[in-house]
């Protein structure tokens, strides 16, 4: 019975950490199909709309550099909760943006929040496992992470067709 419970926990942890790690690619790629619609909504050029992508990647980079050491100092849970709150708040900011510049600012914050999932998914795995088990969990997390850049634009395109670009951020 304990073996089954241990395997169930391992599967849950792999799925949870994989989804956390997938935040980055989803944040970047899910709204790509909506870029043409957003140029009309914000009445600007495609290159200005694409700044949201650039700033999001910048936020991911800054967030990884900052949140890793902070999680070592203050603990994984507190930093995870902070990063998820920041991500959720920034997403609401993106939803409510009336200006492309405000949208771009919130995309930067969204990237920082999503970076928490990337950093912490690997940190938690290395905190809990070693050797073969660690290699196994990192392989699963990487596999899930490999699927995210494929699934994100496809799902984003479907959502954008049905409910528009704001629906992507709502989901």
User: For the chain, which domains are there?
Assistant: 29-170 (1.20.1250.20)
Per-residue pLDDT of the chain (171 residues; tens, 9 = 90+): 445 557 788 888 888 888 888 878 888 888 888 889 999 999 999 999 999 999 999 999 999 999 999 999 999 999 999 999 999 999 999 999 999 999 999 999 999 999 998 899 889 999 988 999 899 888 888 888 888 888 888 888 888 889 888 888 888
What is the residue-wise DSSP string for 96-128? H--SHHHHHHHHHHHHHHHHHHHHHHHHHHHHH
d(CA 50, CA 52): 5
The pLDDT of residue 5 is 58
The pLDDT of residue 147 is 85
The pLDDT of residue 87 is 94
The backbone region for 148, taken as left when phi is positive above 0, alpha when psi lies in -120 to 50, beta otherwise, is alpha
pTM of the model: 0.88
Cβ atoms within 10 A of the Cβ of 77, count?
Answer: 11
């Amino acid at each position: 019975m304990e073996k089954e419970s241990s395997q169930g926990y391992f599967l849950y942890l792999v799925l949870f950490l994989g989804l956390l790690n997938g935040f980055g690619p989803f944040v970047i790629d899910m709204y790509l199909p909506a870029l043409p619609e957003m140029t009309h909504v914000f009445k600007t050029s495609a290159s200005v709309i694409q700044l949201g992508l650039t700033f999001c990647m910048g936020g991911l980079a800054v967030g990884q550099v900052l949140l890793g050491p902070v999680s070592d100092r203050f603990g994984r849970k507190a930093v995870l909760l902070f990063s998820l709150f920041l991500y959720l708040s920034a997403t609401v900011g993106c939803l409510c943006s009336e200006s492309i510049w405000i949208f771009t600012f919130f995309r930067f914050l969204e990237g920082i929040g999503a970076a928490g999932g990337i950093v912490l998914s690997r940190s938690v795995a290395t905190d809990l496992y070693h050797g073969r088990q660690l290699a196994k969990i990192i392989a699963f997390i990487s596999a899930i992470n490999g699927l995210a850049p494929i699934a994100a634009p496809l799902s984003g395109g479907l959502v954008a067709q049905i409910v528009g670009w704001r629906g992507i951020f709502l989901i």
